[in-house]
Amino acid sequence: MSDSADYVRQVETYLCQKNRGHLVRVVGPAFEMVCGWVANGVPLKVAFQGIDRACIRYDARGPRRRPLRIEFCEADVLDAFDAWRRAVGVSAAADAADDEPDASRRKPALASHVERAIARLAHVRGTGTARSPFEAYLEDAIRNLEGLASSALRARGEARAQLVARLRELDEMLIAAAVAHLEPERARALREEAAQEIAPFAARMPTANRERALALAFERQLRDALGLPIVAYD
């Protein structure tokens, strides 16, 4: 229960920040609801992402008349958790039903995906003239993607398949360059966070699945830490 209580306190603190300092206590049924997130293995960072989504939708309605309560964040938190499970591969091991494709999940158009990846990489690269080795790599990656952008609009059949394969290759190269860029201590900390994220599911997963989930969770931590996009189009 101490771990759950600490998780709830951190959620409460984060919600306070998103409510511009107005404290909304997470107690009673709300406390039990957030403890349910802990029991289901929702990583704290994923819960924060869900709260962020709920706040964006809440703010889109106009000026706030009252602070956002945690109860109104649950759907967004669970949606973010579902996306996380699929991203790191724990859904297949934890719940076979999640292996069924979801027709409601529509990918962006290939050309739009490439343009967004270029924009994200350009933001990470920055505008300075002095380039670190990693920033120089990002510049090369941007140029590679710019070379694919026009083709992405028209690509069909085999040409499209080759372009998608190239995006997967560029994504793998981006992750490798990012790992090489990290200080060993920071990389170790991200791997530890990744292990903590999948810990609620690890015992139920075959070794190969667990290792893959850990690798994917580390990639996700790495992308979040450096602001990197997913270049692959899967």
Residue 95 in any domain: the answer is no
Query: What is the pLDDT at residue 111?
Result: 87
Nearest to 70 by CA among 13, 20, 12: 12
Spacing of C-alpha 30 from chain mean position: 25
61 shares its domain with 120: no
Q: Which range marks the domain in which residue 55 is found?
A: 2-88
Instruction: Note whether 80 and 137 are same-domain residues.
Output: no
Residue 102's pLDDT is 46
For 23, phi then psi, to 5°, come to -85, 125
- Give me the pLDDT at residue 197, please: 85
Q: How many domains does one find in the chain? A: 2
Three-state SS at 7:
helix
Q: What is the pLDDT of residue 103?
A: 41
Same domain? For 78 and 132 the reply is no
Tell me, yes or no, whether 231 lies in a domain. Answer: no
Distance, in Å, from the CA atom of 145 to the CA atom of 166, rounded to the nearest integer, reads 10
Specify whether 129 is located in the same domain as 53: no
Q: Which of 112, 84, 105, 22 lies closest to 58, judged by CA?
A: 22
Last residue of a domain, one of 20, 55, 88: 88
Tokens 């990489």 belong to residue: 121
What's the Cα-to-Cα distance from 99 to each of 93, 94, 105, rounded to whole Å?
9, 10, 13
Last residue of a domain, one of 88, 122, 139: 88
220 falls within a domain: yes
Whether residues 79 and 117 share a domain: the answer is no
Q: Tell me what pLDDT residue 162 has.
A: 92
> Domain for residue 105, yes or no?
no
CA dist 26 and 71 (Å) reads 9
Q: What was the pLDDT predicted at 129?
A: 63
In a domain, 96, yes or no: no
Give the per-residue pLDDT at 142. 92
**Residues 51 and 116 reside in one and the same domain:** no
159 and 58 inside one domain: no
98 inside domain: no
State the Rg of the chain over Cα: 20
- Shared-domain flag, residues 81 and 115: no
End-to-end CA distance of the chain: 39
Q: Is the pTM of this model over 0.75?
A: no
Residues 24 and 118 grouped into a single domain: no
CA distance 142 to 120: 10
Looking at the structure, tell me whether residues 116 and 201 fall in a common domain. yes
Helices then strands, each counted (H, E), the chain: 10, 0
75 and 125 share a domain?
Answer: no
pLDDT of residue 92: 42
**Which of 88, 123, 144 is at the close of a domain?**
88
d(Cα 206, Cα 222) in Å, to the nearest integer?
24
Identify whether 99 is part of a domain: no
Provide the b/e sequence for 112-123 (b: ≥16 CB within 10 Å).
ebbbebbebbee
Asked if residue 205 is part of any domain, the answer here is yes
Residues 128-136: contacts with CB under 8 Å, at least 24 apart? 132/181, 133/181, 134/177, 134/178, 134/180, 134/181
pLDDT tens for each residue of the chain, 234 residues long: 567 889 999 999 999 999 888 888 998 888 999 999 988 889 898 999 899 988 888 887 777 778 889 998 998 898 888 888 887 877 544 443 344 444 444 566 888 888 989 998 998 887 766 578 888 899 999 999 998 888 888 888 888 899 999 999 999 999 999 999 999 999 999 999 889 888 888 878 888 888 888 898 899 889 888 889 889 987
Q: Are residues 48 and 7 in the same domain?
A: yes
